[in-house]
Structure 1
């Protein structure tokens, strides 16, 4: 299209100037000091995204708690139960990309509303399922929504918060996942102590309907980011609307591929470590602490502290050094678990660094992906890259299981964890450092 209209020319000039401007050096500061300086609009967006992600984590983690009950009640196999989890992750990958495209088309806030309502309704329907296949379908559709919620929320909070505090704010939103995980553990303990198991698992899923109430708050109090509103106005004036394949254009293809490799490394490593370690430690090391509530609490606490620490460090050190630091830490903890001899007591305390490194690495993802893509396709780019990583990473547990027949489970976990975090480090080194970048500077 002709870009020589006055508005387009002005926008192009502004983008060119911004592209040559250095990134802001006003980064760092305490983890929460920025909140006191935030506007009421920014605070409302922050809490809506944080609570949304907390409830997202709560609903998503419910399956892992009820699998033993489903196996006993319905007589399904562990493979059948595992397939529910795999299909949920694959559906979430598709949902994340679709939500990213929608957020570019209809808005970040509206997409957030739709995805929260979607995953809440289908979580509730999981509790009404009368058969394995009904649960499988409801859970897959729930996954479609929770993948979309992450994308919409990450883009929204990334655009609302100023550049120097973006990493801390987005990371604090991400930390809501650990809180939601902890809430699920508490709800599970309460419900299964007062109700029969065949009723308690249904009640747990039905509690997952509560996030739907958040939609009312979002609809009333949260507004679209200014940068998105300006972008939409410019598109309307020039009739230049983005296509959903624009992230694969020659100008953005390299960024899209490298960012997807970065997220694949993070998520592949996470699934490699967390999926098979309990089985490895129980069957080959004969440790029993993994099945205790205390060990789970230690991992959840470590995850929460990891999210918070990474939120601070991604603004203090920079996006790339922070990724590399947490990747190396994750590789080290994977080596310790699979190669060193340890007691139940040692294993208990190692739950903290396991949660710290494997989960904390995700705190910087939202801010980094927000800064890598221009506003016109930020949702599409962020949704695709994060969720293709989730889809590929979801295959790692299956591949580890297959490889373990030849090399043993411990060695297979170590191989895949090292490979995954190695890919992340290489991708991080090749991508630009974006700490402090104003979003206009990323414009196409």
Structure 2
């Protein structure tokens, strides 16, 4: 008999036997469910705009901070990635303990303030300090955004929603590139205007989340605990005890999730962070042409070709098998990504590589959510994601150092120039990382179609062990939602108040 990790690669037929058609499910969503999903998507889009503001401004930043080269500027990227894990722990714990709404609002406001401050620095040391603090603020967004977007949706819609959600990052990269292409050259403040615009978009996202209600799961849980007469102090003690139980029971799963996200973050940062610099330094493109190529590469998300389709397909063939297919596509397109010298061919290579990268990434939000201990859907995915980010934080510097030591020549305006060979460096890095992701994914777990919204929250007894909330039935159909349980609890509270 085949080993379990192979038998579990494709979901069993009975896991989808009672599922409703996707279009019927989407038509039945309430405006609050749509709004929650949009808010999570927008928050993740803001994260990308904020982060890639540095990647798109590397050349201008070397001009701003005299005596600093590309390697020095990428230190800011590394510090941001290193400190994102701290933000994931802080904001994830607050969210799993108190709810999704206000932690995400505060997270977005902090990010906006720090992004605004980055546009006013005058020295490189100030820039590094602000971007380091920015990493802490940015670290909380992914876990909170994913839980806000997915936990209020029916199971049948989560695969597609996962792909759309994750593509918010590519959309953010695209928006930042467009701002960098059109606004930045027209303003006297140049790169600073990109950072200020990013701050405004984050504040807008915070405002939207502030006017939306709390997640249904937390409304139900808080109402139930209030009915039982538990005080805030008691719930905090329960939360700490359940956190300890979760770590004791799932420590091996935590290690696996970090390994998986390390590979995925190397894929994305290795193919994106230094890409504009690669086109300018190794291929002789202008800043304008390199930005346009970046935009073309990220248009896969707008055309719903990458992660959106991958997320939808994963609902039928499984999460891991979908990831494996798209990672294989990455390996197949590496030559087109690095070998050509013309704009058209390189832009096509960028498009194809991002097709694979964003496709594989499109499955990650739902794969991590289903894999997570259900009471810690903000902390577990967020921390795993950001620890993976931390391990991969030096990807831009690795490529910059590789380019310093591996050189090539190009001809620009009839003159031969000695330049870093970023093409070879990036090709080797992405090839090795793709192989690593394939192996880790193949041997990993999968809880396809898991009803994590029916489990207890982290401040309820049994939450750390993944027990079901009162009245929840794991055997219910995929289209069941927590609204009925919420209504029962609310009626119980009303009756108690009357008594």
Give the shorter-chain TM-score range: 0.7 to 0.9
1:176 aligns with 2:184: no
Question: Does the 8 A contact of 2:15 with 2:449 survive in 1?
Answer: yes
Measure how far apart 1:382 and its partner are. 1.1
Question: Does the 8 A contact of 1:27 with 1:315 survive in 2?
Answer: no
1:72 aligns with 2:75: no
Question: Does the 8 A contact of 1:91 with 1:140 survive in 2?
Answer: yes
Tell me the residue number matched to 1:413. 426
Question: Cα deviation per residue 1:300-349 (whole Å; 9 max; x = unaligned)?
Answer: 102443122222222232211111111111222224435x5664432222
Unaligned runs of 5+ in 2: 1-13, 408-420, 456-464, 468-499
1:424 aligns with 2:424: no
Distance 2:377 2:422 in 1: 39
Measure how far apart 1:191 and its partner are. 2.5
Tell me the residue number matched to 1:434. 447
Question: Does the 8 A contact of 1:97 with 1:384 survive in 2?
Answer: yes
Please list, as runs of the form range in 1=range in 2, the aligned pairs for 1:249-398 lying within 5 A after superposition: 249-275=247-273, 291-304=289-302, 305-338=305-338, 340=339, 343-398=342-397
Tell me the residue number matched to 2:194. 204
Distance 2:287 2:204 in 1: 38
Measure how far apart 1:353 and its partner are. 0.8
- Report SS of the residue matched to 1:184: helix
Greater alpha carbon shift after TM alignment, 327-336 vs 244-253 = 244-253
Greater alpha carbon shift after TM alignment, 252-261 vs 52-61 = 52-61
Residues 260 and 353 (structure 1), Cα distance of their counterparts in 2 relative to 1, 3 Å cut: same
Measure how far apart 1:284 and its partner are. 5.7
Measure how far apart 1:104 and its partner are. 1.2
1:39 aligns with 2:30: yes
Question: Does the 8 A contact of 1:152 with 1:379 survive in 2?
Answer: yes
Residues 107 and 78 (structure 1), Cα distance of their counterparts in 2 relative to 1, 3 Å cut: same
Tell me the residue number matched to 1:18. none
Please list, as runs of the form range in 1=range in 2, the aligned pairs for 1:230-249 lying within 5 A after superposition: 230=221, 233=224, 236=230, 240-242=238-240, 246=244, 249=247
Question: Does the 8 A contact of 2:166 with 2:361 survive in 1?
Answer: yes
Tell me the residue number matched to 2:484. none
Question: Does the 8 A contact of 1:227 with 1:375 survive in 2?
Answer: no
Q: TM-score, normalised by structure 1?
A: 0.83
Unaligned runs of 5+ in 1: 1-21
Tell me the residue number matched to 1:116. 108
Measure how far apart 1:112 and its partner are. 1.0
Tell me the residue number matched to 1:132. 124
Tell me the residue number matched to 1:155. 147
1:57 aligns with 2:48: yes
Measure how far apart 1:152 and its partner are. 0.5
Question: Cα deviation per residue 1:32-62 (whole Å; 9 max; x = unaligned)?
Answer: 7643221222112012112222222222222
Question: Does the 8 A contact of 2:78 with 2:396 survive in 1?
Answer: no
Question: Does the 8 A contact of 2:71 with 2:400 survive in 1?
Answer: no
